[in-house]
Amino acid sequence: MDSIIVRGNGPLNGQIPIAGAKNACLTLMPATLLSEEPLTLTNAPRLSDIKTMSQLLGSLGAEVTSLQDGKVLAMSSHDINNHVADYDIVRKMRASNLVLGPMLARLGHAVVSLPGGCAIGARPMDLHIFGLEKLGAEIELKDGYLHAKAPNGLKGAVMELSFASVGATENILMAATLAKGTTVIKNAAREPEIVDLADCLRAMGAQIEGDGTSEITVQGVDRLHGATHPVVTDRIELGTFMLAPAFCGGEVELLGGRLNLVESFVAKLHEAGIDVEETEKGLKVARKNGRVKAVDVTTEPFPGFPTDLQAQFMAMMCTAEGTSVLEEKIFENRFMHAPELIRMGANIEVHGGTATVHGVERLKGAQVMATDLRASVSLILAGLAAEGETIVSRVYHLDRGYEKIEEKLGGVGAHIERVKDQ
């Protein structure tokens, strides 16, 4: 297992290119199952989760070819010869459940293992099942697998989700493109990744309106055709690297960054005393003089503050001036990074879904352990601004969501290296 060693060494300056969105790409890839014709994705991120999804699609009979050093994915599902998404692959990644809707819509049946991924909460499949059953699917859970079939095909329906689940919205949206009649998804998720999926499906011939709002309408079509689609910028990688100069000082330009992807996050940065401005190439971030100010945060579905940036923001609040309160409303078990930050000298109190952070002058380097994807990068950011050396172990989580992080941070002056554990 690898570890990351970081040493606090002052301000960061320069440019960091932002990759295509992991969460968008993992949603777009299963869309290939909806058509016999090729689907090509450009601006794809080069991450281990993308390889896992490629492996899963390949196990179903799809062809996935990585081109241009992994930045282009050429996919074809003309010969789907297996309808079982096996546990050995699905357990590695939560997004694997997104093959369920497309396979059910095109093949009329699917068997998909209950998914795995980071241990940050239950994230059940209830809403996925609810929506697909509204479309006429029959779904049974047996031995850890969802056995789904639509003997009479899928039919449009009106439904309201009890929670604006991103994954459920995506699965239902893809299935509805080939359902007979009109589907209306109320209380739909509004994330940019949903809009990106809808844009791709429209390029394939789907009829979709209302994406980006809480009500999406889909008019089913008989078939979808091939398309080429660029993956939207990764707003979580963008927000993460925006915090690097906020932690360390300096000025960093995030290439490809877009303000409309991170508006609620940027509002909190402004409150904390961080300058953010748009440029021709992206977004430029700089820290004003002195310590950042303590800011309260509550995670919410988009367009609210992203849960996937909570750990990183908490790490910054550890050295803020004053006391901040962070409330996690999306996932349970998402404060597992707090004990590791405390090892570095942070003053954090956790009670259920609320963390109170009393800012200290400076953190000190320590040996810490990554517990999930976003926690791992929060510890790296904290280490960059800490006194001395920080060793972050179990960083295999990191490669699921951040492309070439050592190269990107090293390019703006960070002292960071990856080492093989003995």
Q: Binding site: residue ranges?
A: 22-23, 94, 123-127, 308, 330
- CB distance 92 to 116 below 8 Å: yes
- Dist. CA 330–CA 198, nearest whole Å: 23
Q: Which candidate in 25, 118, 248, 318 is catalytic? A: 118
Per-residue tokens: 126: 């209830």
Residue 118 is a catalytic residue? yes
Per-residue tokens: 7: 């040493």
Annotated binding residues for phosphoenolpyruvate, as ranges? 22-23
- Dist. CA 341–CA 363, nearest whole Å: 8
Annotated binding residues for UDP-N-acetyl-alpha-D-glucosamine, as ranges? 94, 123-127, 308, 330
Nearest one of 411, 356, 333 to 12, comparing CA atoms: 411
- How far, in whole angstroms, is CA 194 from its chain's centroid? 12
- Dist. CA 225–CA 177, nearest whole Å: 12
Taking the CA atoms of the chain, what radius of gyration do you get in angstroms? 22
Per-residue tokens: 8: 């606090």
Q: Cα–Cα distances in Å, from 34 out to 106, 156, 210, 224?
A: 6, 16, 21, 7
- How far, in whole angstroms, is CA 422 from its chain's centroid? 31
Q: Token match 């932690």: residue?
A: 247
Catalytic center residues: 118
